[in-house]
Every structure is written in structure tokens, then in C-alpha cells.
Structure 1
Amino acid sequence: MKISAAALNNNSLPEGRHQDHIVSGLVLIVGKKRRTWYVRYRGAGGKQKTDLLGYFVPDAPPGSDSMGLLDARNKAKEILGRVEAGVPTKEEKPQHPKQGGMTLDQLFDEYEKARRAKAVAAQAGGNKKKMKGMQTLPEAIRTVRRNLHDYLKLPVHDFSKADLKKVRDRIAARAPQMSDRFMSYMGTIMKWAAQEDHIPVNFVPDTLKVGPGLVKRERVLTPDEIRAIWAACPFLDSDEGKAYGRLVRFLLVSAQRISEAAALKHGDIIAGCWKQGEDDNKSSREHLLELPQLALEQLGTGKADELCFSGRKGKLGGFSKFKTELDKLSGVTGWRHHDLRRTASTNMQELGVAPHIVDMVLNHSIKGVGAHYMHATMNRAKGEAIEAWAAELKKILRAQTRNIV
């Protein structure tokens, strides 16, 4: 059978040796797992030689090192021309596209090293702007590694846009917001990879984010659900579980982000106020929040440099397994941690708190021109809003709980 582009792409060539009918000496050997290009010629002294040209990989993504028919013919012609001219033909042996080159695992390592080196240099030069994002770097690396676990050993050039979409949709099916967060992390990493010539192009910006758009979250916990979850929090088995239970209660009262609350240290609480620096939260600005007593009660006690919600080895993690246990204890399922934040903010609205004050409590970043002109911290108004919600929450908790199915 003649070698053709169509035969290569539809895998119709049988196993064995196939001689090209266009370029004399060009051979494709089709094996069970590989399709390998060779060129045969007579070198100095009439000795028969065979050079490995490369490999053909079916359905290889754009930018991979897979060698198609046209490239193989051009490469063979180049070598044969060098032979005819008496020029040495020996070159570095090509690597198989599925084996050679930097893997995703190695790429993430190199990216993290580069970011940390840049941060050290920025800190030495007093440039805080270039240190932006370092707070979320560990979480970003953990997130991409966890969700790309099956691809970590794959060469970067073989990781395709189709692979990215597959992972994106898989995450979106279980956690829509995490899907967009994953895409943001990957966009930053792949932008760096393209700038450093580890990949030819960053295709992440051309790939749609589908998280919140795929499954819009509107869940607000009912009073019965609030009571059931609150009552179950102290009864998780382990010390870590109990810390998680306190964290859930704290999130419900404070309406803050779980990543920021999980990093809270006792020293961050000053005179009942939680002070976050601009590097400590997603909005990249200082955030002072006067906490009601109901929230302060969930923090426990400890030294200034100790975490309020600690795990066995530092920062508390593995939220999903603890939430599964909490769901069983409370009988409330189908909710997410972010729903606690939505529940608190919705109740503040119902209590008559102005929307812009609720936004300030949530520490949402200000969009558009407002970011340049509105710099008020509204600390007093924020404290009053969250105190009003805490008082309402106490009323909810005192009421009788109906059975939850």
C-alpha cells in the first residue's frame, strides 16, 4: 500500500515496512505502538546506512513533534542532498513525541521556581507590585496538579486544547466556580510557558470559561438547613474535623472566602477586628472587618502566629472529606461552602443593608472607574451590617428545627 497522508491519518497502513513511492530511500515502519520514519542511503565507501528521521503520532495536537508525510519527505530529501554533496549527515537523534521534552509536571516545577525567584528579587528591590499573586501561588500549583493528575507525565507539546476542555468540563460538572479558577491558573502558567518558549502558543485565552455559566449557583440555605448544619459542626470525629466545623460556622457568620478564613491567624485579630493586608485576599486591598461575638467564639485560642483553624500539618485542607461527613451528620446535602457566603449576604439584604455595604463586607473588588474614585473603607458600616446578620442568625438558631429530608 502506498504511503499517503490519508492512510496515515486513518491508520489504514498495516504493520510492516512501507517504502515511499516519491522519495527513494524514505521508509515508514508501522509497529504495534509506533510509526517510525527512516531514510536509507549509501554513505562513504558504499556502505549502507539508515538514519532515524522521526515519528508519526496519530491525532497529534498542533505544535507537537509528530512528523507527517510532507515533513518526512522534506527531511529525507535534505539528508540525501547532503549525502550527494559529500556533507556529513549525522544529527541528534529525535525523541518520540510521547516521550521527549518537558512534561507538564516539570513545567509546573519550573514555573513555581521562576515565580519565587521573581518575588525574592522584587522584595529585595521593594517592588510590591511584582510580588502580587504570591499569596495564591501554592493554591494555584496544587489546583492544576490535582486536576491534571492524569496528564502530568505528558510532554507539554502533547497537551492539547481538547485535553484542556475535557478537564475544564469535568471540573465544571462538580464545582462550576473551581472550573473558572482552574482556567485562570492555567492561563497564567501557560502565558509564562509561551513567553519562555516552552510551548509555541498559549491556547488557554482562546478556550471559554464555562464554570458559573454552565451551572449558575443560586443556593441560599433555609433557616432549617442553617440550624441543622450549625448543630452538626461540633460532632465531626477528628480534631481536624472539629476545626473544620468551627470554620464552617465562622464562614456563615462572617460571609468571607474560605481560602482567606482558612489562613486566618490569631494575630490577625486585633481588638475584635480581622485585619487583612492587600496581599492576603483576592481583592488585593486592605480589608478591616469588625467581627461580632458569634464569629469570635469560633476562633478558639492560640499564639499570634498560630492558625485559628489548623490541620495536622499547618493549614487545614481536605475540605471535601470533612464536608461529606458534615452532610451525613446534618442531613443537608447539595450545598457548597460558597453558599454560606451567599446565604449571609442575602440575609443582610433582607435586613435592609444597602447593596454597596454588602459588597464591602464581602470585599468584592470595585469595577470600572469606581476603582479609581471610591476609596472609602466603610469600616463602621461593615461592622454594623455583619452585627445585624449575627443577631438575626442567633434568632434563627434559637427557633425550632423541622425534620429535613
Structure 2
Amino acid sequence: MRTLAEVQATLQIAKLKEEDLQSTVHCLSFGDSISSTDYCLMELDDTLCKHIESGKSLVIRGDKDERAVLCSEDQTYDLKIADTSNLLLLVPGCKTPEQLVACADSETSQLVHAQIWGLSNSYWELRKQRPRLKKLKKLLMENPYEGPTPAYEEDTHTMQKYTMMDLLERIQASEEEIKAQLKTIHACEIDGYWRMLDFDYEMKLLGHVTQLVDSESWSFSKVSLRVSLEELAPLEPREMIEHCLNCYGRRYTEHGETFYALDEDSVCRATALMLLQNAVKFNLAEFLEVWQQSVPEGMGTRLDQLRSLALVDRSSRPETLSLLRVEDLPEDTLERFNRLFTMREKWTEEDITPYIQDLCGEKQTTGALLTKYARSSMQKGIKVYNSRRPSSVANDD
């Protein structure tokens, strides 16, 4: 190992002044089992550093055919390898000059010997991204819950079902993001497994609730949980009735009793979905009439309740409405825009916004997305957006 005198001699040969350098000198040597593949470096921001320092974990998720992501408890990050022109040395226990404490009365240099355990010319760079949740519904729809029928009870042991642990292993999202999405898609936990309700069965449950509200002459803003369970228990499991109320209402307590305020928009939207599944296109005027007749008396339907669920074609005569759910579109931004422009050549901002809103990252707007992925023009005094890629019609011309 080098001595302090040898280091000082080397500085003289290099024509470096000792007073211009740090007082502590590190002499590096290679360890016995040095490797460039045993270690990976990862760059963390302050939030993730505090997360690790508090004893919490970070998890890498992704199937073999997927690009890996890193997840904390409530955030998802894209993993990308960043190369560096400077070789990075892994030196355990190495301290920065600020961390080294020199003797207050010593003006002489200190010599520290350290061993290099690893080498790297790249590191993992993290970038916060949207969770990849589309697969969640796809997995749960492999075996939708159709109610406690005898056939279901007989076949339940052979059905594909998923626990929360299973979902955490398969879905590229944090646990909090997965839980939030399970609530959004109205999934429920049955016997320890997360299940999607069959849509017809979900509508059947909602029908029981709204019919009870009508028969009891209740206000939609004050639906009694206790009475609902007592009256509807002979028809459906109590936990399913309560789950339906949680999906379509806001729970609150008054004088020690639990009530629900049914959400008009949610009920009207579900009713519209039930009608829209029965045809490719509807005459808009006829649909609006049938829709209003189909919702519970006292609720009002509005077109804005169908944002990201259905699309109005104002250019056709008569005007039409068709089912188009944002959840059925690709998760990738470029693929999403390509699909939308395949379906319709030109979009108004009002029409396309519900179908790209979920693509916005932190501090990003739909306007910024449209600027990047679409081209704008004026059509009859209205700004419209079309693909940046030339259309096949234009190529043919």
C-alpha cells in the first residue's frame, strides 16, 4: 500500500500543489472478487431516498414480455438504463470530504486506504409514469362473478381467481394505485379473491336498490343501509347489496345509522352502458329519449355523463351515438392517438379530450399532448385535430 510520502512524491511529479487539494487522500485498490456485473446503481430522488431510509421497500414488477417498472407504495416509475462516460467505482464505506472529520489541530494530510468492490459505466434512471392498469380488468374478466348460483358453487374450485398478492405480482403498478383502480372498476373481494361482477348481475343489483328506493318513497340522497339489507337479503347476499351501494353511492352516518346518497351521474352512466351494449350505433335523439325513460324516476340524463364512454357523431344525418370506452383503448400514448385517428380522421378538442385525459403526466395538459401528437386546422370555423402521419387517401392522391 502507498505511504503518505509516496503520495506526496507523486504530486510533485504531477506538478500539483498539495494545498490546492483536499487534506484527505484516498488510495484505492482492487478487491479480490471485483466484478462489473454483481452490482447495479440506481439514481433516486429525495422522495425515494427518504422512502428507503425509513425502512420501506421498492419493488420491480413486470412479466417476461413487459418492460420492467419500479414501484413504491403509491407511485410507479419507468426504469431506463443511462450510460455514463466516466467509470463509476463502488467503494463501500467511502466518505465525502464533508463527512471526513480531521483533527482540529492537525495541518498534515491524512491517508485513507479503500478497496473497490465493483465497476459500472451505467445506472438505472427513474422517471415517474402512469401505472399500467389495463391488464387488471382483463385478468379479473377471465372469471366474472355472476352471483351465488349453484353452478358457480360447484365450479368455483376450478375457476381462475386472484388474491391481492397475485395482482401485485402481475400488475405494473403500486399497491395503492391497484387498490384505487379496483374501486374504479367496481371489483370486490369475495372469499379472499378479487372479482369483477358480471355487468348484467351488477345491473340486477342496482335495479333491486333503485326499486326499493321507489317503493319506500325514499330520497336518492338518503338510502338506509339497514333497511336495504333487511329487504333485499332474501334476493341477494347482503355483502353484494352493500357493495352495490358503495359503487353507486356515497356512504355517511346520521344519528348512528348508515345511509347512502346515490350518485345520479353514476346510475345514469351505468344505465346508458346497458343500452349502448345492444347496438353498434344509435340514433342520438331516440337514444336520449329511451335513456331518460330507463333511469329511475327523479334522475336526469345529460350527454356530459357519457364522457369517455360514448361518442356523438354530429356529421351524420341523423346524428348518432356509439359506444367508445376509454378503457378499451391502448395504454401507450402514440398507439392511443393512432387508434383514435383510425376511427375518426378529424376530432374536435371537446370530443377527443375525454379519450386522452388519462394520458397526461404530472403538470401535463391535453393541449400539450395534442400539440405533440396531432396537427390542428380550421374546419368551418372550428379547430379540429388530425394525425401527424399522412393518411392513405393523401398518399393515393
TM-score range, shorter chain: under 0.3
TM-score by length of 1: 0.21
TM-score by length of 2: 0.21
Largest Rg, 1 or 2? 2
* Higher strand content, 1 or 2: 2
* Higher helix content, 1 or 2: 1
